Structure 1
Amino acid sequence: MPLLKLLHFAALLCWCGSLLYLPALISAGTRSGDRLFYRDHAHLTRLVFTLISTPAALLAIGSGTALFLRDGTLAGWLIMKLTVVTAMALCHALCGVLVLRVERAPERSVTRQCLAIGVLVPLLIVITLWLVLAKPF
């Protein structure tokens, strides 16, 4: 089913793109002194997280699961790939925690956590891509 694979790739692109963007967006919400800016920025950040990133993550994980169940694949590379995807899902959840933290206390700095996620996510994406391309046929 090429459509299932296409759905998986499209959802994965949206999810990875939003995971690359969210830490910068979250961190930017703590930099202004204007209270109205905080409220609007927090609303935008929550919308990106809940309406773009989370549905894309669920769709990517669900379609990826359907792909390997359809093919009946269970190998060492798949276990490693799923471990890396789990780390990406944990980064996604941490972004959600940071969104809530910035909403509750906008003047509180979360720059270190955002920087850590911003460095870790590209690394996880590259590792996932390498594992997929190194897949034995």
Structure 2
Amino acid sequence: MNGLEAVIPHLKSLHIGMLVIWCAGLFALPLMLARHDPAIGQADYARIRRATHYAYAFVITPAAVIAIASGTGLIFLRGVFFTWLFAKLVFVAAMVGFHVWIGYVLVEVAERKGVHRVPRATMPLLVLMVPITCVLVLVLAKPDLDQIPLPDWLYEPLGNQLPFEVPRR
């Protein structure tokens, strides 16, 4: 086992751990946002607003970045270039879109003056279930999707140079 192969189990553990935190946070934030109601009292409202802001900025977003970065590393370390992976990446992009939307709603509630209607938690949670379930199914089942036509360059690295110089140690 060479040095890079020894890193794969650790990188995979990091990826799964951060993915769990990210997904749990994406489920928790709509529930927390549903509690944003000035009628509950100023102290409780401020506490909930602070908790959602800190959870999003300091826990959930870093977990998402680390999950995506470690997943990208795993793709290249393991040389996984299959159609199911590209389908998975489409659903990961949907999760990123949901993450961005939640951030937008947080900014609307916290930073903009006026009364804001926070979406009820039911619909966002149902929408979120779709990409997370699809990612799980694709990763665990690894279905044969080779009948879906994709360009040849997606299946293997081309070995081209990057458009910039990479620093070397």
The answer to whether TM tops 0.5 is yes
User: Quick one: which of 91, 103, 122 aligns to 1:96?
Assistant: 103
Which residue matches 1:63? 70
Higher relative contact order at CA 8 Å, sep ≥6: structure 1 or structure 2?
1
Task: Give the TM-score, by structure 2 length.
Answer: 0.74
Deviation at 1:38, TM superposition (A): 2.6
Q: Which amino acid aligns with 1:108?
A: H
Q: Give 5+ residue unaligned stretches, structure 1.
A: none
CA distance in 2, matches of 1:106, 1:60: 36
Percent identity, aligned pairs only?
33
Q: Tell me how far 1:87 sits from its aligned partner.
A: 0.2
Q: What amino acid does structure 1 have at the position aligned with 2:117? A: S
Paired letter, 1:70: L
Matched, 1:18 2:22: no
Q: Alpha-carbon deviations, 1:92-117, whole Å to 9, x = none?
A: 010100111111357411225x4432
The count of residues paired between Structure 1 and Structure 2 equals 136
Return structure 1 stretches of 4+ with deviation > 4 angstroms: none
Q: Unaligned 5+ residue runs, structure 2?
A: 1-7, 145-169
RMSD across aligned positions (CA)? 1.8
Aligned to 2:119: 111
- The SS at the match of 1:111 is coil
Answer whether contact 1:49 1:96 (CA < 8 A) is retained.
yes
CA contact under 8 A between 2:16 and 2:67: conserved in structure 1? Answer: yes
Change (3 A) 1:48 1:82: same
Partner SS, residue 63 of structure 1: helix
Q: TM (normalized to structure 1)? A: 0.90
